[in-house]
Structure formats: structure tokens, C-alpha cells
Structure 1
Amino acid sequence: MTQFLGEYECKIDAKGRIMLPVGLRKQVSPEAQERFVVNRGFEQCLALYPYDEWQKISSEVNKLNLYNKKNRDFARYFFRGATELSLDGNGRILMPKPLLEYAGVKTELVLFAYSNRIEIWDKQLYDNLLTDEPEDFSALAEEVMGRTTERGNDGLS
């Protein structure tokens, strides 16, 4: 399983291409074969998945009972705009214009890599998100991470 890590500030060129930083390219599994899928993420960002990770996630969504309206709604929204992309010879990916518009990406962006995805944020929106950090991060950590049972007493080990 891919386990991305890092935060990278980038620019998008006039044609809508993003240079994927070498630090991120090194983290992509060989199984992805330099192929990705991008779709709408949560909180007005885009989610970029290596192709092999996308296959796993879409397989999970495809297991939903589509006779249930909430499941159909979720699947439609999740797959809406999903686009397969490939790295070009210079390590760039050409982003679909409608998705860039959805995320409000203009020229400067942040690639926030965690778990099996890379979130693509307009830099200003990302900076605003970070300034809206919860007042008591430790209380949030206790609420979210305190529920896990597979961790040590500090919740991290």
C-alpha cells in the first residue's frame, strides 16, 4: 500500500500542467506505472491517486448497494470528474480544467501527500484551511485518535 508523506508548493503552467516533485515521484509504487486518477476531494481540493490505489478505492465504492439512494448519490459524486492521467516525459501531469476550476486552483498550489493520496489545493485556500486550525488540537487528537485500540498509551506507538 502506498504511504505518501510530504507537503510541496508548486505552480501550474499556462497549459494546466503540474510538475510532480521528485520527492513524490519516488514514493509512487511501480505498480502505478506512472498513471494516476484525479477526482474531486473533500473541502474543495482535488485528490490524486496512483492508478493502483484508485483501483482499490473504486473497487470498494463499487461494492456499495446501488439500490440504496445514499449509496448511489455518493458513488455519482465520488466518480464525477474522475480522470486518468499520466506523467509526461518531464514528470508533469496535465490537469483537467473543470477540476482545477472546482478546486479554485489558479497558479500557485500545494500538494499535500498523506496516506494513499495527494491532495491538490489552491495555495490560498490551503493557507486559509491551516489558519482555521482547531483551538485545541490536543482535544481533537484525543477525540479522534483516543478511539483506536491498536495503539499504545500515547496513541502514536
Structure 2
Amino acid sequence: MSLQVNFSWRKDEVSISHEDQVIYTVSNHLKAPHLRFYKETKGGNKNDGMIGTSTFHLLSSSPEFTHHGRHGKLQSTSRWKMAYTHESYYLDSTHNHPTTMTWTSESGFKTWDFICLDERKQAVARFSANPWGIKKLGKIEFCIEDPLAREELILVGVTLYYCVLLCWT
């Protein structure tokens, strides 16, 4: 499955869509939590569809996030290369035991490719981002079927994109 990530300057928010249908929106805020993730609902009330938040801290490259009430942290593992880890409960079939996920990057000048690896070092998601894009920020591709795991990877992937955009540039 592949999702498109676009930015709307008018609304100051990110939309994540599949085949031109918006599935998630991410709103930016100056006060914490800085990113708020919403699943599109038929009723149109955004607060009914809130799935999580992300908070960035001054002088820290390790943002915190919440996904369906479960707290997590993107932990930087290296000062010299882009590598982050986080604990995921959704890639375990019982959703009770954490699995350590590792985000690495194959970044160039024009694109940033964030690749999420499971504990066996197999790719489960890839966020190909265009930091120079004005509207089209990139796409997220998945190798997993669980919707909650995909949702978490979207939240962490977009949080990582903003973290790198704010901390590394």
C-alpha cells in the first residue's frame, strides 16, 4: 500500500491520502503538542478522529509521541548519522509486547528516504520525502497489513520528517 503526503499552505496542514481520498490530516501548532494527527471521519468533527500527537523539545532531537493513548519516544541512536528507534506495540500480534523499530535514512540532496526496520532488520515501511517540495512532500509505502501498525508508522514517520527538518537543517 502506498499513501501520498501533501502539504496545504492555506490550511497549514499535511494531508495523507490514498488514490486522491484523504485518510489522515496532520495539523501544525506552535504550542505542545506540535503535531496533531486525525483520521478522517464521516461526521467531519476532527476531535472525534484524533489518533495521536507529537511534541518536539528545544535542544533535543528525540521527540515524544502518543498514539491512541500509548506514549512513545523517537530516540536518536547516533550523533553522526540519521538513526532513530522507537518501541511499537502494534507489530506484535497480541499488541502487548513492545518491538524495537529502527528508522534509518538513505538521504540525498533532493530526497530523504526514511526506512523503518523491524527487529529482524526487514523493512516494514518507507517514507520517501522531498524536503524541497512545496505541496507534494512524498509518499509512504508499507509492507504490513495491520491498520493500527500502519497508523503508528504514519505518525512516527511524519514526526521523524519534522524532527529532521527542524533539527538537522
The normalised TM-score by structure 2 is: 0.26
The structure whose residues are more often helix, as a share, is 1
Q: Relative CO higher for 1 or 2, CA cutoff 8 Å, sep ≥ 6?
A: 1
The structure whose residues are more often strand, as a share, is 2
| Structure of larger gyration radius | 1
The normalised TM-score by structure 1 is: 0.27
